[in-house]
């Protein structure tokens, strides 16, 4: 069985592909190596995490159907972990077309290739942002996702609808992963831990939106990888208890499932900054600012369904995860 990981030069993708290889699985990766952030970081990430394992990441863009179809044929792909996407809520306000091309065109191409290859299971990245400003916490997979507050969130909600249609029409088993604020070593430069660490060590102010009165369900990358790998081994199935008269979003009479991948422990931003200061050994200069367009006040994952399905839910304490992140950051950027 050959497993494809798309976005394999990315933060989560490289970690997932590395874990699959460590398990002795036959796995390959692709990435378009775009310049949304420093391409050298992607190269270093691949070299560090995948190089020692013989991991291969080919330069392929999911939005290029010809190249993607050729990749599937050459490698005999049987399962897919689709993590390639244009990330970032704020960037979607600046460059919306990038999200349409990658998150919609690219995603449909992946669905089509999976259909044509009769793929046994498609596990794909959604996002906690699909919940919008839903104020009933924790967020449950059966909550409505009909009110996104950013284009990025809208593309991820669209992915879930598109995948469900393929699960219904072609019986393609597909599992959506709603990631909650991933962090850890080799993270993206636009993520809060990376932005804050750079500013703290440089003695520069860090921008603290909504005056720090926001909560995030920070989820350590190793926990995310564990969840992804376990879910990959249990393909989505139709729910025999699904009620068409009262349909619930989390399951379906098609082989499509949705799971939150979060730590189930929301932390206020100011507390997060305090932990990061301690991990880095240096105080931060806080620059308090108002709420930004597209942001939400709090994220908080209900993880009962994930635990019931695969016997696992993320649980790494934030202080421990930030210590590991800080050790990597200091080692990488102080070379």
Residues 6+ apart with CB under 8 A from 34: none
- Quick one: DSSP state of residue 138? S
d(CA 321, CA 308): 24
| Long-range pairs of 167-170 with CB within 8 A, sequence gap ≥ 24 | 167/236, 167/252, 167/254, 167/255, 167/256, 168/252, 168/254, 168/256, 170/115
Tell me which residue of 94, 299, 327 sits closest to 217, measured CA to CA. 299
Residue 82 near residue 46, CB atoms below 8 Å: no
Active site residue 152: yes
The answer to whether the bond into 120 is cis (omega within 30° of 0) is: no
3-state helix, strand, coil in the chain (%, to 5): 45, 15, 40
Q: Tell me the torsion sign for CA atoms 305, 306, 307, 310.
A: positive
Classify 229 as helix, strand or coil.
Answer: helix
Report the DSSP pairing between strands 205-209 and 285-289. Answer: parallel
Residues 6+ apart with CB under 8 A from 96: 151
Catalytic residue among 152, 166, 300, 329: 152
Classify 157 as helix, strand or coil.
Answer: helix
Q: Which residues are identified as catalytic?
A: 152
């Amino acid at each position: 069985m050959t497993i494809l990981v798309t976005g394999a030069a990315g933060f989560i993708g490289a970690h997932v592909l590395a874990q699959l290889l460590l398990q002795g699985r036959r796995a390959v990766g692709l990435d378009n190596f775009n310049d949304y952030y420093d391409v050298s970081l992607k190269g270093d990430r691949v070299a560090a995490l995948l190089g020692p394992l013989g991991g291969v990441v080919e330069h392929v863009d999911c939005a290029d159907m010809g190249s993607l179809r050729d990749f599937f044929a050459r490698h005999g792909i049987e399962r897919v972990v689709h993590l390639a996407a244009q990330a970032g809520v704020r960037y979607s306000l600046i460059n919306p077309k990038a999200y349409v091309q990658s998150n919609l065109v690219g995603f449909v191409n992946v669905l089509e290739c999976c259909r044509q290859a009769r793929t046994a299971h498609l596990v794909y990245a959604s996002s906690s942002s699909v919940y919008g400003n839903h104020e009933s916490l924790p967020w449950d997979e059966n909550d409505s996702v009909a009110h996104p507050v950013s284009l990025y969130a809208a593309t991820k909600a669209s992915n879930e609808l598109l995948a469900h249609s393929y699960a219904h029409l072609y019986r393609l088993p597909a599992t959506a992963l709603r990631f909650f604020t991933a962090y850890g070593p080799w993270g993206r430069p636009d993520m809060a831990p990376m932005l804050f660490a750079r500013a703290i060590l440089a003695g520069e102010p860090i921008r603290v939106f909504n005056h720090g009165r926001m909560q995030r369900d920070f989820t350590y990358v190793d926990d995310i990888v564990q969840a992804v790998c376990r879910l990959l081994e249990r393909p989505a199935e139709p729910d025999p208890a699904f009620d068409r008269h009262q349909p619930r979003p989390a399951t379906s009479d098609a082989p499509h499932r949705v799971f939150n991948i979060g730590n189930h422990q929301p932390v206020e931003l100011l507390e997060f900054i305090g932990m990061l200061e301690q991990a880095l050994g240096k105080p931060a200069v806080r620059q308090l600012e108002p709420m930004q367009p597209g942001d939400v006040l709090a994220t908080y994952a209900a993880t009962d369904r994930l635990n019931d399905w695969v016997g696992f839910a993320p649980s790494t304490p934030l202080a421990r995860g930030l210590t590991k992140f800080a050790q990597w950051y200091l080692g990488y950027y102080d070379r």
